[in-house]
């Protein structure tokens, strides 16, 4: 066992927008719920790990606005830029190495304050050779999706099956912003954005906030029902800045991250951050949790809630909404809640850095020591 456990989770449900509140208020509410869940108060928190990206927040050193809202004033604070699952991994290492006993991890999305999100996202591309050629990130997603489908020999409509599954799963999740009972034909009839990607294959943006409390596995200062960290990995695949070096149709970061985790794993449940429908299948094909091709498992119902390998029972980003930068913590919170209340004992969580990057994090959770 890694030596760290999730002892409390709190979230403000995903919504298309929250009017009249800012991210500080969202974090405050999420922190209150997380500390209550952990059986602690803000005074018990030793350190705060914030997840944020100044480029998205529109202010420099955005994490300087986090501590007061979550009880971290005059305590150790640090920022881990990029997807929030990476920040969670940093917190677990701080706890497991004995640096701190109780650490709060925070992440949020206030995308409704951003008027040009996809333009901001495109700024990670080379300004001379790529931005002039790709007016919208959906173009890159379309190339990736086409390459994946060609590699595994699947028809494009399989992407609509992913969307139908996840939006349907979200109907049972009160934290979801976009639950819907859809048909494959309805998704297939949506606007083509970049062949084969259609509007129904793209996770819509949402406002969201989450706080997760991580503590030493043997801590006597916390309550609640712990979910233990069983392993983690971070990987970088091919170049995201220079697309001529990119391995199209493969989530190249997954296997390096999986190797960091070492050994086999019994996986009951998988939660994947999927900004696009093909992202779920692409990542799942690299996770080494099944020998069968994911798209075939999907058609056979094996990835459904009651299947042999449930994937995105929470609804995923397609059903819940995609919170830029906070998607990894969104998936983690959902996995913890599912492990606590349902039949599953283990969960594997995968989250890419963002829609374009070929990098990301894996986390393995278990309810048993």
| 122, part of any domain | no
The mean per-residue pLDDT over the stretch 235-245 comes to 77
Q: In this structure, what CATH number is given to the domain that contains residue 185? A: 3.40.47.10
Number of domains, the chain: 2
Q: Does the pLDDT value for residue 55 go beyond 80? A: no
| 120, part of any domain | no
Q: Are residues 8 and 79 in the same domain?
A: yes
CA distance 138 to 310: 27
Q: Are residues 334 and 236 in the same domain?
A: yes
pLDDT tier for residue 112 given thresholds of 50, 70 and 90: very high
Tell me the per-residue pLDDT of 16-49, one tens digit each, with 9 for 90 and over: 999 999 899 999 999 999 999 999 999 999 999 9
Q: pLDDT above 90 covers what percent of the chain?
A: 80
CA distance 299 to 320: 22
Helix, strand or coil, per DSSP, at residue 238 = coil
The mean per-residue pLDDT over the stretch 208-232 comes to 94
291 or 33, which is more confident?
A: 33
In degrees and rounded to multiples of 5, residue 79 shows phi and psi of -115, 135
Q: Are residues 221 and 232 in the same domain?
A: no
Q: Which pairing describes strands 197-198 and 192-194: parallel, antiparallel, or unpaired? A: antiparallel
Q: Are residues 190 and 66 in the same domain?
A: no
Q: Are residues 299 and 235 in the same domain?
A: yes
Global pTM reads 0.96
Q: Are residues 90 and 146 in the same domain?
A: no
CB count within 10 Å of CB 52 equals: 27
Q: Are residues 160 and 191 in the same domain?
A: yes
| 329, part of any domain | yes
Q: Are residues 63 and 85 in the same domain?
A: yes
Q: Does the pLDDT value for residue 244 go beyond 90? A: no
Q: Are residues 148 and 57 in the same domain?
A: no
Strands of 202-282, DSSP E: 207-216, 227-236, 269-272
| 123, part of any domain | no
Q: Are residues 235 and 223 in the same domain?
A: no
| 111, part of any domain | yes
| 9, part of any domain | yes
Q: Are residues 196 and 83 in the same domain?
A: no
Q: Smallest Cα–Cα separation from 140: which of 162, 153, 124?
A: 124
Q: Are residues 236 and 220 in the same domain?
A: no
Domain residues for the domain of 276 are 128-202+228-366
| 142, part of any domain | yes
CA distance 166 to 327: 15
pLDDT of 240 reads: 58
| 121, part of any domain | no
CA distance 185 to 166: 15
pLDDT tier for residue 315 given thresholds of 50, 70 and 90: very high
pLDDT of 128 reads: 82
Q: Does the pLDDT value for residue 185 go beyond 70? A: yes
Counting Cα atoms < 13 Å in the Cβ hemisphere of 347 gives: 29
């Amino acid at each position: 066992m890694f030596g760290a456990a999730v002892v409390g989770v709190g979230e403000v449900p995903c919504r298309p927008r929250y009017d009249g509140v800012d991210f500080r208020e969202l974090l405050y509410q999420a922190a209150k719920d997380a500390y209550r869940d952990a059986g602690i108060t803000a005074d018990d928190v030793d350190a705060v790990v914030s997840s944020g990206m100044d480029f998205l927040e529109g202010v420099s050193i955005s994490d300087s606005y986090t501590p007061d809202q979550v009880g971290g004033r005059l305590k150790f604070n640090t920022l881990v830029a990029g997807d929030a699952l990476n920040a969670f991994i940093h917190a677990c290492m701080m706890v497991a190495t004995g640096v701190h006993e109780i650490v709060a991890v925070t992440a949020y999305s206030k995308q409704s304050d951003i008027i040009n999100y996809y333009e901001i996202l495109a700024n990670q591309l080379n300004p001379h050779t790529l931005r002039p050629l790709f007016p919208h990130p959906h173009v890159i997603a379309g190339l990736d999706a086409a390459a994946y489908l060609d590699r595994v020999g699947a028809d494009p409509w399989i992407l609509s099956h992913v969307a139908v599954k996840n939006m349907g799963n979200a109907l049972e999740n009160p934290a979801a912003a976009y639950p819907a009972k859809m048909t494959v034909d309805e998704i297939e009839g949506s606007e083509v954005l970049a062949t084969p990607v259609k509007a129904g294959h793209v996770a819509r943006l949402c406002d969201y906030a989450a706080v997760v409390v991580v503590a030493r596995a043997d801590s006597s200062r916390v309550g609640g029902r712990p979910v233990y960290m069983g392993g983690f990995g971070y990987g970088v695949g091919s170049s995201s800045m220079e697309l001529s070096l990119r391995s199209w149709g493969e989530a190249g970061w997954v296997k390096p991250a999986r190797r960091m985790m070492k050994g086999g794993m019994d996986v009951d449940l998988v939660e994947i951050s999927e900004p696009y429908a093909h992202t779920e299948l692409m990542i799942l094909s690299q996770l080494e949790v099944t020998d069968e091709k994911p798209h075939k498992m999907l058609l056979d119902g094996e990835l459904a809630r009651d299947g042999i390998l449930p994937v995105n029972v929470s609804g995923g980003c397609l059903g819940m909404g995609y919170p830029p930068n906070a998607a990894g913590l969104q998936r983690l919170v959902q996995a913890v809640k599912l492990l606590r209340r349902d039949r599953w004992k283990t969960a594997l969580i995968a989250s890419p850095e963002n829609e374009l990057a070929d990098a990301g994090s894996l986390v393995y959770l278990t309810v048993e020591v």
